[in-house]
Every structure is written in structure tokens, then in C-alpha cells.
Structure 1
């Protein structure tokens, strides 16, 4: 029987932090990496990825759920709400209620639904308010996964992800090694063999306080200030981005080849 994985969500699932020029939107990410493993394990696997960076939960629900359900997937990955958590005024109870409504719809399809906790990054005291919201969100996601029979990938419990090498410079998105580890984690969770080779992480040596202060200042200038400015303007990267794989593909055919074919088809049109 042909199986179909449809990935739904935001930048976490689109693959931001794992750049690759030969993939749609110039990013690869854990979901594409997982899809390649699925295709190697069984060429009949199909895959679609509807996720778009910077989308809030309600946008994911409005723009992606109907499309995902219409594809009649056997497996659905669902992660949304992370961008809502970045807002200080987020109503967490309301967010989790809307999350549950979406999860119930997906579970009602009969597909195997895969959900994730969000990693509570602890790299700077500036993110302490975010960490507390993330932890509360994770408690809710764990409870809702159990209630609706979803498969939980408990990202927050894998403390290996505290290693800086697994995170992009913005400290919000995973890096290439982080996405690779997530692909392996999801494959292991759903019981699909994979050939992903994960390098050992070199022990992280803490910086002295002067260097730590310089790094923190650079982080604030390069990442925090631009993020705040974008949110104040109400402009987001995802406003002009299309889904990477809106219609199912067979990853076994080679995803770079399929991406090049899609670009060629657009040029011909």
C-alpha cells in the first residue's frame, strides 16, 4: 500500500536553518531529510510539505489543513504555535484550545498524526519569558497528544539539543546538524529504518564572561533587534513564500531532481 506523509506547519517543518540551494525555498530541513529516508526504505512512499516560515497557528490552520486533509495522507506531521509564543501577549489557553481543534481534525482523518514539543532554548536570559511560555505550551501538547492518540516527538526532552552546534545563529531555528538529528529522531519514533549518520558532538567549552558578553551583544544586534522590528512592522518572510512540495512527490525519484524539474516547468510556462 502506498503511504503518504504530509508535513504541516511553520519554519520548523519548512526547514529554515538548513540551507540548500537545490531544494525549494533554498532550504532542506528535517522533513525533507526524513522523506528521503522513507523513499529509500520503500520507493512507494509519497511526500508533500505545506509548511511556510513565520506562520502563526491560525494561518497554518486556515491555509494548510484543508489542503493536507484533501490529499488523504496516511501520516501527517503537525507543528504550529511557535510564532505565537514569540508574542508577549499570547493567550496560551486560547492557543492550546485552537491547537486542539486542529489536532482533532487531523486525528479524525484516521491518519497517523505526529506532533512535537518545542525546544525550550536556554542560551540567554533574554529568552527567559519565551522559555516559560514554551514550557507551558509543551505541557499542553503532551496532554493533547495523549488525548487524541497522536504520536509525540518530545523534542524538549532531548537535552542533547542544548548543544550550540545544533542551532542556527538566531538560536530559534535548528542548524543543518540539528535538522539531521530531528529527521533521525522522527524516523526512530515512527519505526522507519534510516541511514542518517550523526556525528558526535564536540563538548562545548563555556566562554569567559568578556567573550560571552561580546557574543551576546552581537546576537542582540544581529538577531533580536531585527526580529522585533519585523514584528512591529507586521512583515514576515513567509508572506511571499510558497509551499515547498504542495503536491505529493515520490522522494525515491531524487528530491533535487524533482525540484529542478519543477523550476524548469515554471520557466517553460
Structure 2
């Protein structure tokens, strides 16, 4: 469902607005989620894609199918970024590109920190969203994921719930759209998650992109975008223990070490698509 003022609801079975997307230039701001970490369909050495790139492709194709110019798109998201960096570094740079749609998606890295003040983070987000909306630019926000099945970040679930409540309220007050991964049943399946159990697979990003279309009042391309997957047979206890041990060694320990050293995997990275160019 969208919280954008004046638009129609897009819950299952409800009518969807006809016609191609009205947006001409979209800029994505955020962290590894919007950067597209682990979505590398062309191989590990190829550029990352991710849900935001896929959303831009869907919107652009619908425009060109209707005889309009392709969507122009930039992605300024960088893995490991906190909300403050997204708001102070990426959003001003995004506005310089003169978009009519911006996604401002972050908070996961903040919530992982025990000392986080979720209310303060939400207040910072609302201040910037209000500024962007005052320029007539549409904003797409996102809830956090439901972490109840994650052994690494399950303890953050309560903080994420408070954050999500703020996101919905911010959207209602400011006329923004909301992508809702928390409510996506398909993301409860571990096959949607990469080996590090924190980032999505290619199929997970594809389903989130469909959820973003729905959030923007667009019809999804695939009817099963939120359907749960058919259950797999249970994994034997020994095999599961080996998987957990490998995950601890290859992903959890390096991640925790970076946190203790106050370092991020994105410290030396720059935006993958800093200019708004037409989507091919």
C-alpha cells in the first residue's frame, strides 16, 4: 500500500492506475541494500545490480513501451553507510541531479549499533524527507526487514519495529511512498538470502523490485512476487551445524571485527552510478 497523498491503494485485488510511469529521472540513495550487494547475475567481477536498478529498468521499459523517453537513473548508494551519511552526503548530491523521484533507504547499519537512538534517526529522516517533498520531488522510503529468523541480528527486531512505525508515519505526514520488506512473506525464506545471511540474493532483489513497483502504485510484473516458496525438506542437524560454522568463520567474524574497529566494507568505495543517464 502506498502512503502517497492523492494516490489509490495498491493492495492485492485493488485497481491500479493506468498509464506509464510519470517519473523521468530517478536517483537511489542508501546503503548496501540499494547498492545491490550480492546481486551479481553476470558474475562476481561484473557490476552489481540490485532492486533499485531493477526498479529503474521496469519503470524505463514501461515508459518506452508507451512511446516515451527512457527513464534517467543514478544510484548513489554505498554499502555500510549510516543514515546520517545518506542524508548529508547522498541526498544533496541526488537533488543536484534534479530528479522527480528519490529513494531514501537506510537505517539497517544504524539499528545494528546497540547505542542507536531510533527516534533521533527517524527525526533526521523526516527533516530531509520534508525538504525533498517541498521541492515537489517524490520520495520512496522503506521499512526494515523482519529479523526474527536471523541468528545474527534477531536482537535488533524490536528496534526495527519502532523504526518501521516511524517510516509509515513519516510517509503519511509528508506524502511519501513506502516499500515494505518487513511485510513480504517471500523474504521469510532463506533461499532469498545470500551466504552472509544479511543481504539478498538475485531472486530476493527481484522480488523487492516488484514490491517497490507496488509501493509506487504500479502493477507488478510477476504475480508471485510475494508468494512463499514451496518448503524444502529439513536439513540434517550435522549439515546445518557445518553451514553455521562456515557462516561464523567466513561472514560473522569478519563483520564483527569491522564493527569493533569502526570500519566499513564501503569505506573506500564511491557510487557505482553517479550520473543520471538513460536506462538501457
> Normalising by the residue count of structure 1, what TM-score does the alignment of the two structures yield?
0.85
**Separation in structure 1 between the aligned mates of residue 99 and residue 47 of structure 2, nearest angstrom:** 25
Which residue of 78, 84, 89 maps to 1:58?
A: 84
Which of 73, 76, 98 is the aligned partner of 2:102? 76
Query: 2:163 aligned with 1:163, yes or no?
Result: no
In structure 1, the residue corresponding to 2:247 is in which secondary structure?
Answer: helix
1:98-124 deviation digits (Å, cap 9, x = unpaired)? 122222222222111111101122334
Cα deviation 1:60-86 (Å, max 9, x = unaligned): 112111111122211111101111111
* CA 161–101 in structure 1, closer or farther in 2 if over 3 Å, else same: same
Q: Determine whether 1:15 maps to 2:36.
A: yes
Q: Judging changes above 3 Å, is the alpha-carbon distance between structure 1 residues 126 and 245 closer, same or farther for their aligned structure 2 residues?
A: closer
SS in 1 for 2:266: helix
Match of 2:27 in 1: 6
SS in 2 for 1:178: helix
Is contact 1:14–1:51 with CA below 8 Å preserved after alignment? yes
Root mean square deviation, CA, Å = 2.4
1:13 partner SS = helix
User: What's the counterpart of residue 211 of structure 1?
Assistant: 239
How far apart are residue 205 of structure 1 and its match?
3.3
CA distance in 2, matches of 1:25, 1:145: 35
> What is the CA–CA distance in structure 1 between the aligned matches of 2:161 and 2:232, rounded to whole Å?
24
Kept after mapping to 1: 8 A contact 2:27/2:102: yes
Cα pair 1:41 1:193 within 8 Å, conserved: no
Uncovered stretches (5+) of structure 2, i.e. residues with no partner: 1-21
Write out aligned runs for 1:82-121 (5 A).
Answer: 82-121=108-147
Residues in 1 aligned to 2:56 and 2:115: alpha-carbon distance in whole angstroms? 36
Separation of aligned partners in 1, 2:161 and 2:102: 24
Q: Note closer, same or farther for the CA distance 1:248–1:24 as it changes in structure 2 (3 Å cut).
A: farther
Q: CA–CA distance in 1 between the matches of 2:109 and 2:251? A: 15
Dislocated runs of 4+, deviation >4 Å: 20-25, 193-200
Whole-angstrom CA distance in 1 between matches of 2:219 and 2:109:
32
Q: Distance in 1 between matches of 2:256 and 2:117?
A: 19
| TM-score (normalised: structure 2) | 0.82
Name the SS for the 1:239 alignment partner: coil
| Cα distance change, pair 25–230 in 1 and its aligned pair in 2 (3 A) | farther
Q: Could you tell me which runs of 5 or more consecutive residues in structure 1 were left unpaired when the two chains were aligned.
A: 255-269
Task: Tell me how far 1:24 sits from its aligned partner.
Answer: 9.8
| 1:142-181 paired onto structure 2 within 5 Å | 142-181=168-207
Higher fraction of helix: 1
